[in-house]
A and B are shown apart, each in its own frame.
Chain A
Amino acid sequence: MHTQTKIANRLTTLFETKKKNLLNIYFTAGFPALEDTVTILKALEKSGVDMIEIGMPFSDPLADGPTIQQSSEVALENGMSIKKLFEQLAGIREHISVPIMLMGYLNPVMQYGVAAFCRKAAEVGVDGLILPDLPFDEFNEFYSSYFEENNLSNVFLVTPETSDKRLKQIDESASGFIYAVSTNSTTGGAKDLKQAEGYFQKLKDANLKNPLMIGFNINNKENFDFACHYASGAIIGSAFVKAIKDSNNLENDVQNFVAGLR
């Protein structure tokens, strides 16, 4: 086991200063239009979200439901790519102060090169990565040093089926926060969050060293508040993507969506 150097970035600072009701909004880069990425980022910052997760579209998003599948497909048709995203994000830190995470599937990152990807992400001001299909062992064995060198948090997912032992292991390797998937589902599901109460309580009582954020199936203020009762905050993706899908005025629609959650 390697000894982890301490990662300190906007994300870790946020969790030190604010412990409750953190709102993390996910959106797909390059959607609805290719050049909307930065517009949405600015609108989100302005509307007062606590952190932002930018989805890097992938042709075969296994863990995603129809909404994010579709936004990914459109984004790719629009010409989105990792290269393009890094171009869009260059200079972004002149405008955006909240923590930014990149979320995506491993294959495009592998093709870019994991080391180069981590360097570039840090260079444009990204604070952490969420790569759901990057195996935990492989991260520890091959990639954790790239994250550390670039001060990037690596966020792992846990689910209702994750064993207590594995939860502890994941907590040891994670930095930033633990992403608790609310129910057994792909993104954008409509399962009843209340059924997850026992699992949320277990996580809350587990005394994890990392803060906890709950995501998946969270689509309104009621769900958001419920999740926040057990965690530092919650993550909203599909509901936001749906809300801006046909937007003619991104700034307004983003503002209204976020206001509806607070």
Chain B
Amino acid sequence: MQYSVNEKGYYGNFGGAYIPEMLYPNVEELQQKYLQIIYEPSFQAEFQQLLEDYVGRPTPLFYAKRLSEKYQTNIYLKREDLCHTGAHKINNTIGQILLAKRLGKTRIIAETGAGQHGVATATVCALMGYECIVYMGAVDIERQKPNVERMRMLGAEVRPAVSGSQTLKDATNEAIRDWINNPADTHYIIGSVVGPHPYPDMVARFQSVISEEIQEQLLEKTGHSNPNYVIACVGGGSNAAGAFYHYLDQLDVKLIAVEAAGKGVNSGFSAATTYLGKPGIIHGSKTLLMQTEDGQIVEPHSISAGLDYPGIGPIHAHLFDSGRGEFFSITDEEAFKAAMMLSRTEGIIPALETAHAIAVLENISFKKDDVVVINLSGRGDKDLMTYITRKEEFMSK
């Protein structure tokens, strides 16, 4: 079984590039050039240096002693929350801005849900002197205010997406429409392993630094580069793809993907795509998708803006379909409680997205000598308002 992308841009039955002709020249250019560009020595040198000196890589792999005691196993936290801007998202935006430069583009657009990808994009645009426009759902602009202000301070224009559920899906629609209207000068920095080929593979490659480091760090700390489990939350699935990447073919490593169940998978307010979705097409990719019988895309729900997406990257649809990945879903409440728990157990306030990955510890029974790596995809500063205002609702139960 092949878990990485094939030459046509598919992961098993999923992937491809289902795009209108208006996007074809840009997407085709990326398909033809992305591998060549990103493996050029000069690109790699610049990329690696920025990851080291600007992002702060390698990020630590932290043995979480008290958490390990609580769950009677050995838990390591991959500290992507310590990346510059506070999440893994910047690994990808550094890569894509260097790519945009080599493609001769002068204007950058992006979509964002939690605002982490928007901030990471605004950051690299400031760093490189690029014009930057970030589309963000009007609902998300409300619930992730600090990130909106950060983007503006970094010089980006934040444009509200007011259609549909006014969340990540709609912001992505608006970004794609912008690209259709501005094909010549604009590069679209997609924030997850979604979209038409080659985006899912390109973003996964930029994020693969996460599992590359985990391998080295685990080897040094435990004598083995393979853990028993790698756990990550999945919105589109970029932090998970990065954390899984070098383990895809290591079948002794269990890959655990955690989706947002929202108010419950059967509540009608959920974003648990593998549970609720069927194969379909969203944002140029064939993947699992929450949709009606008539093929209309269903509006998802999650307390976490970064997981509030009705699809999933095609790599994850394939991991699910093939059984290589094991998928769990975690409710708003479980995630919220896990965030509180991690804060007090390890002194780390996680992003709400990340809290879903933490919460799954309750659902898996580990052996005492298992080695469990959780990808701590981001920090919780951006979610402070939610943590304050909804504490009573969730923690009194």
Contacts and interface: CB of A to CB of B under 8 A. Distances in A.
Contact of B22 (A73, A111, A138, A184): A184
Contacts of B173: 60, 62
Given A60-B169, A107-B291, A186-B177, A134 B18 contact: yes
A181 B21 contact: yes
Interface string A138-171: 1000000000000000001111011100100000
A14 interface: no
A8 interface: no
19 contacts: A58-B295, A60-B173, A62-B283, A64-B177, A73-B164, A106-B18, A107-B280, A107-B295, A109-B295, A111-B291, A111-B295, A133-B20, A133-B281, A157-B22, A161-B183, A184-B22, A184-B180, A185-B181, A186-B177
Interface in B258-293: 278-284, 289, 291, 293
Interface residues of B, number: 34
Given A106-B281, A133-B284, A185 B20 contact: no
A76 B280 contact: no
A257 B173 CA distance: 31
Q: Which of A83, A159, A166, A181 has the most CB of B within 10 A?
A: A159
Nearest to A61: B173
Interface in A65-98: 65, 69, 73, 76, 81-83
B16 interface: yes
Contacts of A157: 20-22
A118 B121 CA distance: 43
A106 B283 CA distance: 11
A110 interface: yes
B294 A82 contact: yes
Nearest to A70: B163
Q: Which of B20, B176, B183, B282 has the most CB of A within 10 A?
A: B20
A111 B293 contact: yes
A135 interface: yes
A109 B296 CA distance: 10
B18 A133 contact: yes
Contacts of A162: 21, 24-25
Task: Please tell me the size bucket of the interface on A.
Answer: 35 or more
A19 B180 CA distance: 31
Interface string B12-27: 0000111111101100
Given A108-B294, A112-B295, A135 B16 contact: yes
B21 A158 contact: yes
Given A111-B278, A133-B18, 19 more contacts: A59-B297, A62-B177, A73-B163, A76-B296, A82-B295, A108-B294, A108-B296, A109-B295, A111-B293, A111-B294, A133-B284, A157-B20, A157-B22, A159-B25, A161-B22, A161-B24, A161-B184, A162-B21, A181-B22
Interface in B173-187: 173, 176-177, 180-184
A159 B22 contact: yes
Contacts, number: 105
Contacts of B283: 62
A59 B43 CA distance: 39
A63 interface: yes
Contacts of A58: 295-296
Interface in A31-80: 58-60, 62-65, 69, 73, 76
Contacts of A111: 278, 280, 291, 293-295
Contacts of B289: 107
Contacts of B19: 133, 135
A217 to B, nearest CB: 11
Given A62-B173, A73-B163, A135-B16, A108 B295 contact: yes
Contacts of B176: 62
A138 to B, nearest CB: 7
A202 to B, nearest CB: 15
Contacts of B164: 59-60, 73
B183 A184 contact: yes
A62 B25 contact: no
A109 B291 CA distance: 13
